[in-house]
Structure 1
Amino acid sequence: MHAQRRGGATERTYARLRRDVLDGVLAPGAALAELEQSARLGVSRTPVREAFARLVADGLARPLPGRGLVVAPLDLDGLDHLYDLREALEVKTARLAAAQRRPRVFEEFAARFGRAPGLVDAGELEAYYAVTAEFDEALDEAVANPWMTRALADVRTHLVRIRRLARHDPQRLRAAAAEHQLIAEAVAAGDADLAAHAVHVHLHRSRTHFRAHLDHEPAVEEVSA
């Protein structure tokens, strides 16, 4: 029973800390101290320590010489590494999904992305991101490759942090909706080459946009704990 309670506390602590990292409550480069976080969250140091270990495994926290454990920084090199992996995975996913020929599913997504700029203009960003998340799930389901799905889930976790940092630029979101619409149309038509090219263009523009934001962020040493 004691082990179950401790496991529950660790799970809740991990979920809260993970959400705080993704939402930017715990900023990139911020120091993570067991005593401070246990006091903030109202739990003992043991579930905090165990949650920290899971954040490190997720790539959301890392040891930094002279500073102990910190929230994983976001920098240009890290962004490029993430996007290199993302492009390899998403281009292949689009090709495989197009080969599955599920026109009705992806024609509907194309129509939804056609309406998505209206969500941005109305400030309904959660609804906008819900459409993109459902699109990702539909692509994963079409491909039905659990290894690829797992790898993409890890990449998407880190993209959440980058989106928050870039402050959800409305102009970029409207452009991204059009790019997603073209991807969905290509997949619906079973055109693997067009789908792959559309993903490549989307990711190039996305990477360029986020690089511009990261280039103006303070260095890790300047981020307060």
Structure 2
Amino acid sequence: MRASDRAYRMLREQIVDWELEPGTVLGEVEQAARLGVSRTPLREALSRLVADGLVASQAGRGLVVTAVSIDDIAELFEARQALEQRVASLAAERRDRAVFEQLQGEFRDSDRLLADHHAYYELVARFDVAMDEAARSPYLVAALANVRTHLVRIRRLAQDDPARLAAAAGEHLLIVDAVVAGDASLAAHATHVHLYRSLQNIMQSATSGRLAERLTAVV
């Protein structure tokens, strides 16, 4: 792996995991030494993070980790709604049915899923990959990948609610059912419902708990 790729992945992971908090100054000398790379690949990594929207230039401070606000969450979900609904519609039209029948069986086993949150999130990640691949729309998927980067950052601080996870598993199953059936309209509608409920849950977390504490500090 190239040094710039390694630096990018390490910094991105640390920002998404909140190890590098909003407002953290990313000085070239300090970060190059900390990550064990020279300043040239570090600059390349920082440029990619600026393009991702995770790092920005701040007058008098240089490059800093960007803040997250409630307005950011709402705007991200606006973009996510448009992109994921279209992906769902295309996936239903173009899918490999066998791939989604496999996911269908796994989402139906909700008792096992909810007993292990890690297994649930891993299944959701595979669901996302399957939807993206089935849509066969590289530009659409690339735009969605950028939105998801910021959403992962927010989710890392949102509280896990067992009732919400159970509901989300059912919502994912409905999307998969629609894709298996080849029903593009239903797949898009089921995605709309899932994302609406996800936004409500995150907004609730934004007014209490760890996410609220971090947002309050940066809004």
**1:92 paired residue number:** 86
Q: Which structure's relative contact order is higher, taking Cα pairs within 8 Å and 6+ residues apart?
A: 1
> Alpha-carbon deviation of 1:60?
1.1
- If the length of structure 2 is used for normalisation, what is the TM-score? 0.86
Which of 7, 10, 13 aligns to 2:7? It is: 13
CA apart distance, 1:171: 3.2
**Are 2:161 and 1:172 equivalent residues in the alignment?**
no
Residue 188 of structure 1: which of 180, 188, 209 is its match? 180
The residue identity in structure 2 corresponding to 1:99 is E
Q: Deviations over 1:35-79 (max 9, x none)?
A: 332343244444333322221111111123454322121111111
Identity among equivalent pairs (%): 51
Distance 1:63 1:215 in 2: 29
Query: Which amino acid is 1:188 matched to?
Result: V
1:32 and 2:13 aligned: no
Q: How many residues align?
A: 215
Native 8 Å contact 2:95 2:135 kept in 1:
no
Measured in 2, the distance between the counterparts of 1:153 and 1:200 equals: 18
Question: Counterpart in 2 of 1:105?
Answer: 99
Mapped partners of 1:213, 1:87: distance in 2 = 20
Matched letter for residue 100 of structure 1: R
Superposed counterparts of 1:111-122, under 5 Å: 111-122=105-116
Q: How does 1:43-82 map to 2 (within 5 A)?
A: 43-82=37-76
Change in Cα spacing, 1:15 to 1:189, as seen in structure 2 (3 Å) is same
For residues 67-107 of structure 1, the C-alpha deviation after alignment (integer angstroms, 9 at most, x for no partner) is 43221211111111111111111111111222236433223
Displacement of 1:144 in angstroms is 0.8
Q: CA deviation at 1:116?
A: 4.5
Q: Which runs of 5+ in 2 are unaligned?
A: none
Ranges of 4+ aligned residues in structure 1 off by more than 6 Å:
none
| Distance apart, 1:32 and its partner CA | 2.3
Structure 1, 145-154 or 35-44: larger mean CA deviation: 35-44
CA 1:91–1:221 in structure 2 vs 1: closer, same or farther (change >3 Å)? closer
1:22 maps to amino acid: V
- More displaced 10-residue stretch of structure 1: 96-105 or 127-136: 96-105
Structure 1: runs of 5+ lacking an equivalent = 1-6
TM-score, L = length of structure 1:
0.84
> Partners in 2 of 1:21 and 1:101 — Cα distance?
34
Structure 1 residue 220, shift from structure 2 partner: 6.4
Paired with 1:110 and 1:62, the residues of 2 have a C-alpha distance of 41
CA distance in 1, matches of 2:13, 2:154: 14
- 1:102-142 alpha-carbon deviations (Å, 9 max, x no partner): 4332232122112255233234x1x3222112212222222
- In structure 1, the partner of 2:137 is 145
Aligned-pair CA distance for 1:19: 1.2
